[in-house]
Amino acid sequence: MLIFPSFSRETAINLIPFAFELLDPFALRFGSFFSKVKRFEDELDSIKGCESGSTAEESSAAADRLERLLRRMRLTLHEDHYWALEAKRRLVDLYGKAKGFQMYKMPMVGA
Protein backbone atom coordinates (compact mmCIF):
# COMPACT_ATOMS: atom_id res chain seq x y z
CA MET A 1 0.00 0.00 0.00
CA LEU A 2 1.43 3.35 -1.02
CA ILE A 3 1.17 6.37 1.24
CA PHE A 4 0.72 8.66 -1.76
CA PRO A 5 -1.60 6.92 -4.21
CA SER A 6 -0.54 9.19 -7.09
CA PHE A 7 3.07 7.91 -6.84
CA SER A 8 3.89 4.84 -8.79
CA ARG A 9 6.37 2.26 -7.56
CA GLU A 10 8.92 3.56 -10.10
CA THR A 11 8.58 7.14 -8.82
CA ALA A 12 9.06 5.97 -5.24
CA ILE A 13 12.19 3.98 -6.19
CA ASN A 14 13.62 7.04 -7.95
CA LEU A 15 13.03 9.16 -4.83
CA ILE A 16 14.76 6.76 -2.43
CA PRO A 17 18.36 7.93 -3.15
CA PHE A 18 17.22 11.53 -2.81
CA ALA A 19 15.60 10.75 0.55
CA PHE A 20 18.75 9.03 1.82
CA GLU A 21 20.82 12.02 0.74
CA LEU A 22 18.55 14.28 2.76
CA LEU A 23 18.89 12.07 5.83
CA ASP A 24 22.63 11.42 5.50
CA PRO A 25 24.62 14.21 7.25
CA PHE A 26 27.77 13.22 5.36
CA ALA A 27 26.03 13.67 2.01
CA LEU A 28 24.56 16.96 3.16
CA ARG A 29 27.95 18.22 4.21
CA PHE A 30 30.17 16.89 1.44
CA GLY A 31 27.89 16.00 -1.46
CA SER A 32 28.16 19.38 -3.13
CA PHE A 33 31.93 19.39 -2.48
CA PHE A 34 32.37 16.09 -4.33
CA SER A 35 30.31 17.37 -7.24
CA LYS A 36 32.50 20.50 -7.42
CA VAL A 37 35.65 18.38 -7.43
CA LYS A 38 34.18 16.25 -10.23
CA ARG A 39 33.39 19.39 -12.25
CA PHE A 40 36.97 20.62 -11.74
CA GLU A 41 38.28 17.26 -12.92
CA ASP A 42 36.04 17.27 -16.00
CA GLU A 43 37.01 20.84 -16.90
CA LEU A 44 40.70 20.08 -16.46
CA ASP A 45 40.36 17.07 -18.76
CA SER A 46 38.53 19.18 -21.35
CA ILE A 47 41.34 21.76 -21.70
CA LYS A 48 43.16 21.10 -24.94
CA GLY A 49 46.44 22.67 -26.00
CA CYS A 50 48.62 21.19 -23.26
CA GLU A 51 49.87 18.42 -25.54
CA SER A 52 53.12 18.59 -27.46
CA GLY A 53 52.60 19.75 -31.02
CA SER A 54 49.96 22.31 -30.04
CA THR A 55 50.11 25.69 -31.74
CA ALA A 56 51.08 28.82 -29.82
CA GLU A 57 47.48 30.07 -29.91
CA GLU A 58 46.15 26.79 -28.50
CA SER A 59 48.78 26.81 -25.76
CA SER A 60 48.00 30.43 -24.87
CA ALA A 61 44.28 29.71 -24.68
CA ALA A 62 44.95 26.61 -22.57
CA ALA A 63 47.13 28.64 -20.19
CA ASP A 64 44.38 31.24 -19.79
CA ARG A 65 41.78 28.56 -19.06
CA LEU A 66 44.09 26.82 -16.58
CA GLU A 67 44.76 30.09 -14.75
CA ARG A 68 41.02 30.82 -14.49
CA LEU A 69 40.36 27.27 -13.31
CA LEU A 70 43.07 27.59 -10.65
CA ARG A 71 41.50 30.81 -9.39
CA ARG A 72 38.17 29.01 -8.97
CA MET A 73 39.83 25.95 -7.40
CA ARG A 74 41.48 28.21 -4.83
CA LEU A 75 38.06 28.96 -3.33
CA THR A 76 37.16 25.29 -2.79
CA LEU A 77 40.30 23.13 -2.72
CA HIS A 78 43.49 23.16 -0.69
CA GLU A 79 46.45 24.48 -2.67
CA ASP A 80 48.05 21.00 -2.54
CA HIS A 81 44.93 19.12 -3.70
CA TYR A 82 45.67 16.64 -6.49
CA TRP A 83 43.65 18.49 -9.15
CA ALA A 84 45.11 21.88 -8.22
CA LEU A 85 48.62 20.42 -8.47
CA GLU A 86 47.75 18.84 -11.83
CA ALA A 87 46.58 22.21 -13.17
CA LYS A 88 49.79 23.85 -11.89
CA ARG A 89 51.90 21.11 -13.51
CA ARG A 90 50.19 21.68 -16.84
CA LEU A 91 50.79 25.43 -16.53
CA VAL A 92 54.48 24.84 -15.82
CA ASP A 93 54.68 22.61 -18.90
CA LEU A 94 53.01 25.27 -21.04
CA TYR A 95 55.19 28.09 -19.72
CA GLY A 96 58.30 25.95 -20.19
CA LYS A 97 57.50 25.52 -23.87
CA ALA A 98 56.84 29.21 -24.52
CA LYS A 99 59.38 30.90 -26.74
CA GLY A 100 61.98 32.73 -24.67
CA PHE A 101 61.08 30.89 -21.47
CA GLN A 102 62.88 27.59 -21.99
CA MET A 103 64.77 26.57 -18.85
CA TYR A 104 68.17 26.42 -20.53
CA LYS A 105 67.75 30.01 -21.81
CA MET A 106 66.71 31.51 -18.45
CA PRO A 107 69.27 33.55 -16.53
CA MET A 108 70.73 31.97 -13.42
CA VAL A 109 69.58 33.97 -10.40
CA GLY A 110 71.43 33.66 -7.11
CA ALA A 111 74.08 31.30 -8.49
Domain residue ranges of the chain, discontinuous segments joined by +: 32-105
- 72-99 burial, b for 16+ CB within 10 Å, e for fewer? ebeeebeeeeebbeebeebbebbeeeee
Tell me how far the alpha carbon of residue 15 is from its chain's centroid.
29
Q: Count other C-beta atoms under 10 Å from residue 60's C-beta.
A: 14
**Over residues 52-75, mean pLDDT:** 86
pTM of the shown model: 0.62
Residue 2 pLDDT = 46
Closest CA to 67 of 52, 81, 84, 80: 84
Query: Is pLDDT above 80 for 104?
Result: no
